Every structure is written in C-alpha cells, then in structure tokens.
Amino acid sequence: MKFLIKLSLILLVSSVSYGQNKVKFGKVSEQELIQAASLIEPEAAAEVLYDKGNSYFIYSDENGFQFVFERHRRIKIYKKEGYEYGDIEIPFYEATTNTREKVGVIRAVTYNYEDGKTVKSKVTNAEIFEEQLNKYWVVKKFAFPNIKEGSIIEYSYSITSDFIQNLREWEFQSEIPTVWTEYNLRVLEYLDYQRISQGYVPFVINKEGNQVETFTYKYQNASGGRASSGTNSFSSNSATYKWAAQNVTPLKEEPYMTSIEDYKAKIGFQLISHNFPGSPQKFVAGSYEAMNKDLLDADYYGGALNKSNFLKETVSSIISGKNEDEVPLAIYSYIKNEFEWNGFTSLYPGNLKETFREKKGNSANLNLLMVMMLREAGYKADPVLLGTRDHGKPHPIYPNKDKLNYVLCYLESGDGGILLDATRKSLPFGMLPQKCLNGNGWRLSSTNPGWVPLKSAHKNEKIVQIKLTLAEDGSTNGDVVLKSRGSNGRSVRNNIQSDGEDKYFTKIDESLLDWSVSETSVEGIDDIYSEVLSNFTISNDENQDADIIYLPLQLYDAYGENPFKSETRIQPIDFPSGFSRKYLLELTIPDNYEVEELPESTVFQLPGRAAMFQLSVNQLGDKVNVVGIFKLKKTFYLPDEYSGIKQFFDLMIQKQSEQIVIKKKS
C-alpha cells in the first residue's frame, strides 16, 4: 500500500510539473534523462512526456484569415523497441502546388546523458525532406540522430494554413503512455465550428472563455479625385478553449475491436458556417445528403453508373430464360465468377468499361458493375459506401470521404434489402466478408439515400455432435460430426481449401489433447451454399482399467480461456456478428461402470438476452446426454458493460471445463 501511495504521488508530481510550469524547448532536466522506466506503464518502450498544441487565427491583407497550428512534443525512449518514435512525419495539406499549407521552422534535438552531462544532437535542415502522400497531402520527414536507450527527443514546428475548414484535430492518446497532453484553441467569433469528440480519457483541465483580439488591415479610398490610404482595425470576441489530460494510459489492441482510430481520445472540428465582417453568413458544413448529391452528379460516379449501354447484351444473355427470383443470383454469380478482384479496396471506381473488358478491377469496380447490371435487368440497386473494420467507422453526421474505403451493392427487396459483395468467389449470395461488418454504410441513392446496417444475410452457426462409448476396459471411442453453417462454414471451407484437409484435422487432433483422431472426411467443400460436415472418430486409451474416469463435459469447441483478460477496458466490444454454437454429447456407459458425479444443469444470460449460455445434463439408463447452447445476439457493448460480459465468459468457461466422474462398480 505504501508503494502504491508513493507511486501515485510520483505520478501526480510528475504530471503537475509539466502541466503547471511552462515547459521550454531545450530545457530538459537531469531527472528526465536518468529516469529508467515509465511510471504509468513500467514495461513501455517509450512515453510522451509532454505534448502541447496551440491553434489560433491571424489576418493579413495578402492572405485574409489563416489559422496557425503550433506543436511542441517531448518523448522519452526507454528501450530499443522505442527507437521507431524517433522517425517523425508532419503531414500538411495542399490543394495545388501553389496553394498549400506552410510548415514553419522545425526544431528537433536528441538529448543523452553522458558522463554526468547532457549531450545534444540536432536535426539539420538538410536532414528534413518532403514526400508526396497523395493528391492532397504532403509530409515532411526526419529522423532523430544518436538515439539510445534513455534518450529524450524533442521537436516543435508550426503550420500556417489558408484552409480554415481543416482546423487541426488533437489526439490525447497514443500507443505509448502520455504524461501530459494539452491543446489550446482560440476561435474567431465569425467562425462556428462543431466540436467532435471521441474516446474515454478524462480531462484534468477543460476550460472555456473569451478573449478580445484586434486585427489591423490596410485601406485605400478614392474620393473627388483624391486617394487616401491608411490602416484600420477590427475586433473579435474570440472563444478560447483549453483541454488537458495527464497520465494517459496507452491505447492497446483488444479482442473484438475495430480500427484503433475509432477509440483514440481526440477532439476534431467541423466548420459549420462563417460570418465575416461585411459579409452575410454562409453555411459551409457538409452533410451526407450533400455528399450523396455531389457523387451522383459527378461524371466519374453517378454519371458512370448511368452509362450502362455496353452491358445490355450481356445482361440480356444472363437473364434469358430465368424467372424474377433467379435473375439477381445469376447476375451476382456472373460478376463473381467471370471477374477477378485485384485485391484493392476503394471508394472510387476506375474506368468501368475497361473493367468490363479486362474482367478485373478493384472492389468498387466489381460491385458498381453489379449495381449497373441489376438496374439494367429492372431491379432497384444502389451502391453502399462504408469504412471497413480495419479502416474505422465514418462519423454518423459529418462526412469525411477519407473514412470511406469500400463499396457494396444494395439490392432492394421485399424484406428490406440485401447487401452483396462480388469480390470473393467463396461468398454466397447475401454474405459479407467480416471486414465489412462495421456498423452502418451509406446508401448512395437518388430516391432513398441514408444509412443501412451492415449485416450479412447468412447466420454464423456451428453444431458439434459426439456419440461416445465407454468400453468395459475403460477405453473410450466415438464418432464426431461438426456442422459448420453460414459464415462459419465459409471460414472452414476457406481453411481447408488453402491448407488442405490434413492440416485442418491435425489442428483438431492437437486441440483434443489426450484423444486420437482418425477416419476423417469432409463434405460440402465445393458447394458454397451448403453446410460443411467434418466427420471423424476419436479414441482415448489413457483410462484403461482405471477405477475412476474423469471425462470433460465439453470435449471439443469449448473456450480454453477468456478472450477478455484485462480487468478494465476503455474501448467498446464490437463483435463482427452474432453467432450460435451448439454442443451435443451422448455417452454410453457399460454395465461395469456407473456415474459418480454429473455437473448440474444451468442457464445464465446477459440483460436483455444479449448473450445466453444454457447447459442441460441428464442421465437416462446407460446414457448420459449433454446439451450446451451458446448464443450471442448483441454485438456491441459499451465499456461500462465490460465487467458483465467478462464475467459471463468466465462462468461459461468454468462450466464447460467441469467433468463427468465415472467409477468402476465394486
């Protein structure tokens, strides 16, 4: 307890020293240099000691209003694995080669403690270079010299920007601990920004206020043949903000989470409107409805979708002789089987005629061609735009096309619509790859635009059936059938097709520990619409002539350990989809043995039947029957629900590991 109190005081003193005192560039203390480990997370390879940002607005007659972003960051390196934090990238925006943000002076220094002295190694201008990331973003890069275990690296820079709609966001959390992080913002009264916050880090400072700012401009008047010029000024009652957090634990990858960017604590800003002196108020905030219209009006998107004459002959051939229910599957199968996905995901199509001619393209090309073919056949079909699970969820109100990186096909039907993806030949009609199961996608439509849930039309089910016989000599053997349906069936099918049956059954054999697997066979591999049946026999000779036999209640497909190991969690739990698992065991006992002990039947569930586990154990004559059912219906859990689902898994794993005790009759 004394240690914990002492540690807490050290953390508090450390944080307050950064937060309350002005940290000057180049003033690195001996205490910082000799510190051997993070006080927040002792095993961390590096940590952010100090990270401060300032954003404010300036005015000039040449450029009008601009904003300035300043940053000062200090990082401590503890281990070699932390050297990577010495590679710095500073991104900045450019609309054209002549219209770009301007990066000011970059200062960067490495500090080492050698022979009782602080040794500085500076980054020179010659060591800083630029790289074009894409059409609109450039990055300045540099690497700190002379980094060692124990080094401190420090850098600062500023960016001056004409693009007031792109006000810099601020991240309060990263993949390493952060001792102190602070962001200061001063916003002109003429600008209205919507604040967009995310994450679960509490602020130690969260202040709002006002500050009057005065700006000077030049004027020139012509009256009565005379010209006069001079300077004048105007004021803004600007809003001021200050946010700060201390001792921020790193954001770590946890089981069942989407992109880590979805949960990082940060603040961003969306410009809603501006009302500059002498000008009327102008609303500039984007909306998904506006994005919807822009894309449909664009020649490269909506325009391309409307130019489907080159598909008429092919569509006519595909649908010939088929009834109304058969046509969508026929078109889907044509795209999926005749075209090759090039492995790239994209929001934007390339040349769709070229894709059709070459029978190869990115995800947008293939699925937009499917939209066009379905429309050509007389069906209502639209693109659905989304962000994949590894890319992050788009904001539900304020559009950012950078958050959208994939396109699906939405086929309108009587039961609400079906989502289709033709990129993988192993996908049945209506099944989505797991990476697309990421909340909601935007239906791009002229008549019914809006969000649609990203759900697969196929279930995720698995049934384990075991018929086991205990012989008079104590050995055990039996038959096992694994029924894999829906997305679980696709997963098994893909594993067998990529690795082979031998490796598939070898993994099953390894998971069964004392049991031997033989007489293996698989059915349903070639038919993507059927369930996959995995058949094999198991045997165990370890208990021959034993007086007492302990048989695991759930021999196969039990959870060996809880996937939720952390005591607390700051990110939501986001399962890709719900699922159902069923376990059926029939055990036949010979006359010379009897049941000594059977686990009790039980059932428990989360509130609202979000998840349910049911176990039924009973004996009838020489048969012991076990039925275990696990269903997950709710797929998204907030952090305050974490303890409940963690406890649910603990109880289920404990129950699955209980044993049937059988003893030899005397």
Give per-residue pLDDT as tens, 301-315.
999 999 999 999 999
DSSP 384-415: EEE--TTT-PPPSSS--GGG--EEEEEE--TT
Across the chain, which distance is largest between two alpha carbons, in Å? 126
Give pLDDT tens digits for 315-329. 999 999 999 889 999
| CA 487 – CA 495 distance, rounded (Å) | 12
CATH code of the region 460-664: 2.60.120.1130
pTM of this prediction exceeds 0.85:
no
CA–CA dist 646, 628 (Å, integer): 19
- What proportion of the chain, given as a percentage, has pLDDT over 90? 77
| Closest C-alpha among 152, 74, 75 to residue 113 | 152
Comparing C-alpha atoms, which of 613, 482, 621, 599 is closest to residue 538? 482
- Give the H or E element holding residue 182: strand 178-187
What angle do helix axes 312-319 and 363-376 make, rounded to 10 degrees? 70
- Looking at CATH, the fold of the domain delimited by 2-189+203-208+240-254 is given as Immunoglobulin-like (2.60.40)
Rounded Cα distance between 318 and 300, Å, is: 26
Which pLDDT value is given to residue 416?
A: 79
Q: What pLDDT score was predicted for residue 399? A: 87
CA 28 to chain CA centroid, Å, is 37
Q: What value does the mean pLDDT of the chain take?
A: 91
Phi, psi angle pair for 550, to nearest 5°? -110, 115
Residue 503 has pLDDT above 50, yes or no: yes
Residue that wins the pLDDT comparison between 278 and 354: 354
CA distance 146 to 110: 7
Q: What is the mean pLDDT of residues 453-459?
A: 92
Q: Does residue 255 have a pLDDT over 70?
A: yes
- 390 vs 394: CA distance, rounded Å: 12
pLDDT band at 397 (very low <50, low <70, confident <90, very high): confident
Q: Could you tell me the residue ranges of all domains in the chain?
A: 2-189+203-208+240-254, 288-453, 460-664
% of the chain with per-residue pLDDT over 70: 96
Residue 229 has pLDDT above 90, yes or no: no
Question: How many Cβ atoms are within 10 Å of 435's Cβ, its own excluded?
Answer: 16
Q: What is the pLDDT of residue 601?
A: 96
Tell me the two tokens of residue 270.
């969306």
pLDDT at 402: 82
Tell me: the pLDDT tens digits for 21-73?
Answer: 689 999 999 999 999 999 999 999 999 999 999 999 999 988 889 999 999 99
407-428 average pLDDT score: 92
Q: How far apart are CA 615 and CA 599, in angstroms?
A: 9
Residue recorded with tokens 């973003």: 137
Higher-confidence residue of 631 and 97: namely 631
pLDDT for residue 436 is more than 50: yes
For 222-226, 278-282, 334-338, 530-534, which range has the lowest pLDDT when averaged over its residues? 222-226
Q: Which of 153-157, 394-398, 482-486, 584-588 has the lowest mean pLDDT?
A: 394-398
Q: Quick check: 120 and 28 in contact, CB under 8 A?
A: no
Token pair for 294: 């822009």
**Across 4-8, 107-111, 380-384, least confident range:** 4-8
CA pair distance 177, 182, nearest whole angstrom: 14
**288-453 has which fold?**
C8orf32 fold (3.10.620)
Q: Is the pLDDT of residue 7 over 60?
A: no
Assign 226 a pLDDT band (cuts: 50, 70, 90): low
Of 494, 410, 392, the closest CA to residue 455 belongs to 410
In angstroms, the CA 316 to CA 313 distance is 5
User: Is the fold of 2-189+203-208+240-254 the same as that of 288-453?
Assistant: no
